[in-house]
């Protein structure tokens, strides 16, 4: 019988050779290819756009990301198995003057890896996307611009502004006669969504620039409350306003950022969103937020440009105010977009539109309407133009937040018929400024 082998008799373990890491190809020699996202490449694509915005990738949001992003609208450039540019769009509906919901491509996650810039990748993605939006029959595209210089050359105009409001809460007493009433209380997220979803759907139709939130994932994005979005503040808190009759007619969300000391509190209320059906609900919600114990400051990063808080307080100067750009709008189908909205006044005007990227938009269009409640016709015409403008300028004025007369005054709109710009501008205006509380 053979003896059992000892440890010293056993063959040595096989150690695989240490291979040097394989570098990606040199960017100046690589040939990126335009590709659609697939389920297999989705996670790498999300990692690429997180890197493009210099953010961390958060694996815990993968399930939500797969609900939000649509593979057939998500694409980019790849070199081998590596994404070096990303672009996407979400299927949404945008509220336009008059309350109609217009199918809109909500453009998002546009990035180009630094070594691949200035090689035409961004232009190729934007052209590819606009052609796709046009094929889908969506009259509008919209985006939030991380870099405001980028998107004008693709026809996106800054149609919506926002206010950044801040101040010391103890300096914000209301003027005598400002009516408050009913009551405000904090509720759970489940309770909040149950009553606020139908209220939001009703209220957003009165506010151009807002997005519909029909799906669970659209509300999940609106109320996103992962630790990485809190910026050191508390979890998102949800409050509703009850009218004197006991009906919910307003709501707000906010966070609380602790500050100061135990003897000298200096905490901050960070207002995320506030909606109200009437002035009493609006004032009462603000009074609740400004009177929270331990708070001495407030901040609202995305208030509507016509937010009337400054008109409610004794000292309007106590509400620090900064005007910032918000949503950029692009008309993809000019006649369909112009027909979709209502107009503040009757108008009969021939607009000559230029559009280098979507030639179907270019040419002369006669816009006719008898006013807010009337139907609108937009037809091609060979009649002489009353007003000439680019699709960028038309998108800028489309929601009524920027006056056509202001664009004319800086020579971005040309008038051929005396008074035509004023007439078209009056018709394109609206009684409420556009606002977009939805980031995407």
> Among 430, 428, 399, which Cα is nearest to 328's?
399
Strand partners, 310: none
> Among 438, 437, 439, which Cα is nearest to 163's?
437
Cβ contact 416:424 at 8 Å: no
**Which positions ≥6 away from 165 have C-beta within 8 Å?**
298, 299, 300, 303, 307, 309, 319, 320, 321
Long-range contacts of 415-418 (CB under 8 A, 24+ apart): 415/386, 415/387, 416/384, 416/385, 416/386, 416/387, 416/388, 417/384, 417/386, 417/387
Annotated active-site residue 440? The verdict is yes
Cα angle value 72/218/66 (rounded, 5°): 40
189/191 Cα distance (integer angstroms): 5
171 CA to centre of own chain? 32
Annotated active-site residue 116? The verdict is no
- Tokens linked to 363: 């040419």
Question: Which member of 49, 69, 77, 151 is catalytic?
Answer: 151
Q: Which residues are catalytic?
A: 151, 440
């Amino acid at each position: 019988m053979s003896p059992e082998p000892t440890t010293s008799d056993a063959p040595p373990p096989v150690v695989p050779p240490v291979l040097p890491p394989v570098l990606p190809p040199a960017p100046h020699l690589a040939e990126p290819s335009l590709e659609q996202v697939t389920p297999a490449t989705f996670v790498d694509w999300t990692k690429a756009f997180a890197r493009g915005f210099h953010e961390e990738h958060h694996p815990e949001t993968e399930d939500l990301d797969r609900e939000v992003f649509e593979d057939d609208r998500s694409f980019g450039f790849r070199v081998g198995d590596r994404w070096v540019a990303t672009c996407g769009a979400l299927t949404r509906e945008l509220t336009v003057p008059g309350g109609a919901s217009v199918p809109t491509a909500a453009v998002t996650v546009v990035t180009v890896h630094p070594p691949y810039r200035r090689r035409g990748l961004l232009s190729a993605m934007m052209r590819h996307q606009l052609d796709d939006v046009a094929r889908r029959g969506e009259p509008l595209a919209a985006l939030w611009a991380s870099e405001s210089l980028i998107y004008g050359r693709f026809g996106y105009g800054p149609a919506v502004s926002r206010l950044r409001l801040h101040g010391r809460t103890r300096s914000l007493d209301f003027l005598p006669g400002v009516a408050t009433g009913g009551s405000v209380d904090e509720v759970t997220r489940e309770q909040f969504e149950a009553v606020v979803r139908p209220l939001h759907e009703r209220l957003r139709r009165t506010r151009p620039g807002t997005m519909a939130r029909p799906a669970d994932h659209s509300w999940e994005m609106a109320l996103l409350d992962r630790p990485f979005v809190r910026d050191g503040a508390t979890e998102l808190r949800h409050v509703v306003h009850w009218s004197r009759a006991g009906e919910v007619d307003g709501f707000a969300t906010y966070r609380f950022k602790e500050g100061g000391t135990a003897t000298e509190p200096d905490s901050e209320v960070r207002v995320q969103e506030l909606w109200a059906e009437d002035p009493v609900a609006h004032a009462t919600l603000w009074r609740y937020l400004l009177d929270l114990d331990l708070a001495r400051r407030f901040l609202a990063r995305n208030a509507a440009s016509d937010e009337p808080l400054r008109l409610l307080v004794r000292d309007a100067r106590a509400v620090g105010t900064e005007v910032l750009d918000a949503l950029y709008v692009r008309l993809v189908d000019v006649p369909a977009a112009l027909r979709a909205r209502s107009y503040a006044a009757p108008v009969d005007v021939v607009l000559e539109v230029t559009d280098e990227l979507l030639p179907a938009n270019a040419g002369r269009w006669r816009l006719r309407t008898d006013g807010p409640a009337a139907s609108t016709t937009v037809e091609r015409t060979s009649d002489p133009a009353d007003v000439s403008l680019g699709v960028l300028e038309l998108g800028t004025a489309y929601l009524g937040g920027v006056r056509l007369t202001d664009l004319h005054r800086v020579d971005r709109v040309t008038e051929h018929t005396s008074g035509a710009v004023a007439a078209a501008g009056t018709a394109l205006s609206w009684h409420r400024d556009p606002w977009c509380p939805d980031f995407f």
